[in-house]
Structure 1
Amino acid sequence: MKWIDLPPVWLLAFLVLAWVQTTWYPMGLSFGGVWADFLGGLLVGGGLVLMAMAFAEFRRHRTTVIPHRDADRLIQSGIFKHSRNPIYLGDALVLAGLILRWDAVLALPLIPVFVWTIEKRFILGEEDRLRRKFRADFARYCQKTRRWV
């Protein structure tokens, strides 16, 4: 089942879990209305902007965005100056934002579980491939740029 090994599929699975929780098991819990909708919207919007900025850098540098493929270039410009994984950070923000907007209080633990899953399934392997291919450049990049934020 190689298709499941794509980050958008994992994000969709976690979003479905959050939606199921709020739809069928709300347990009478709530974040409190308007402020949660507003913050949730900001998080979703911010996550989408991060992803768009990262995709633009991938396109500009003409390298792959697909996680299990070898990169042709080490991107250190644009949004990648601030985060080594802006797309995954964007995914986590979208998940957090929709959990807030959907009032899925019991789904909050899905956020750290999602981050852990993405790190284990994708980030560690990607970083290992980049470390082997770009050696000293990647080591310097890791020293100046954090994995998430």
Structure 2
Amino acid sequence: MYPEELIDARRRAAWGSAAFLVVGPGSVTGLVPWLLTRWRARRPVPGGVPAQLLGTAMILVGGAALTRSFAHFVIAGMGTPVPGAPPSKLVVTGVYRHVRNPMYGAMQLMIIGQALLLGQSRLYVWSSVAAALPAAYVPLREEPVLRERFGEEYDRYCRNVPRWLPRLRPWHQD
């Protein structure tokens, strides 16, 4: 691929990823929690200021992990997380060296962080719903597609990197 084509491909991937980040995870971690709470904190917030500080930290860490995960799709994978515009390379860099599905984990962290920050128990219920959907989708649809697309490279990745709970030491392909 020529340098101009590479830049254009990355630019398209970046715009597609950014749009999907707003529509997909933005709905799960922003729109739905807002509809459920209108961002109103329960008074007093259970756990007080320590719970709110922990919730804030969880939102920030989850947001950073989610953003970095999307960036790795663009930079390392030359594609997007959108099934219609998938990466051309298997993404096994950054946080993907610790866990296969960091986006779903990051979104959970953000929703639970909001529940702690606002003291809203309905967000724990939403977190459970938001976790159940990928728990079914990933093994039944996403993994078979990736296995077909990337073959042995993906199988080796699956053998070494857990699906949901991160490994402490990053996995190195070579």
Give aligned-pair identity as a percent.
Answer: 24
2:29 to 4, 11, 17: 11
Q: Kindly indicate whether the alpha-carbon contact (under 8 Å) linking 2:114 and 2:123 is maintained by their aligned counterparts in 1.
A: no
- After superposition, what is the alpha-carbon deviation per residue over 1:85-144, rounded to whole angstroms, capped at 9, x for unaligned? 112211111111111111102432221221112333567422221111111111111111
| RMSD between superposed Cα atoms in Å | 2.7
- After superposition, what is the alpha-carbon deviation per residue over 1:5-47, rounded to whole angstroms, capped at 9, x for unaligned? 8343333454135415x859x6x78422101111101100110
Considering only CA atoms, is the larger Rg found in Structure 1 or Structure 2? 2
Structure 2: tracts of 5 or more residues without a match:
1-19, 166-174
Deviation (angstroms), 1:66: 3.0
CA–CA separation in structure 2 for the residues paired with 1:51 and 1:85: 10
CA–CA separation in structure 1 for the residues paired with 2:52 and 2:134: 26
Which residue of structure 2 lines up, in the alignment, with residue 111 of structure 1? 127
Change (3 A) 1:53 1:66: closer
Aligned length: 143
Change (3 A) 1:16 1:113: same
CA–CA separation in structure 2 for the residues paired with 1:121 and 1:114: 11
TM norm structure 2? 0.69
Q: Kindly indicate whether the alpha-carbon contact (under 8 Å) linking 1:29 and 1:105 is maintained by their aligned counterparts in 2.
A: no
4+ residue runs over 6 A deviation: none
Higher relative contact order (CA 8 A, sep 6+): 1
CA–CA separation in structure 2 for the residues paired with 1:135 and 1:109: 37
Q: Kindly indicate whether the alpha-carbon contact (under 8 Å) linking 2:146 and 2:154 is maintained by their aligned counterparts in 1.
A: yes
Which residue of structure 2 lines up, in the alignment, with residue 84 of structure 1? 100
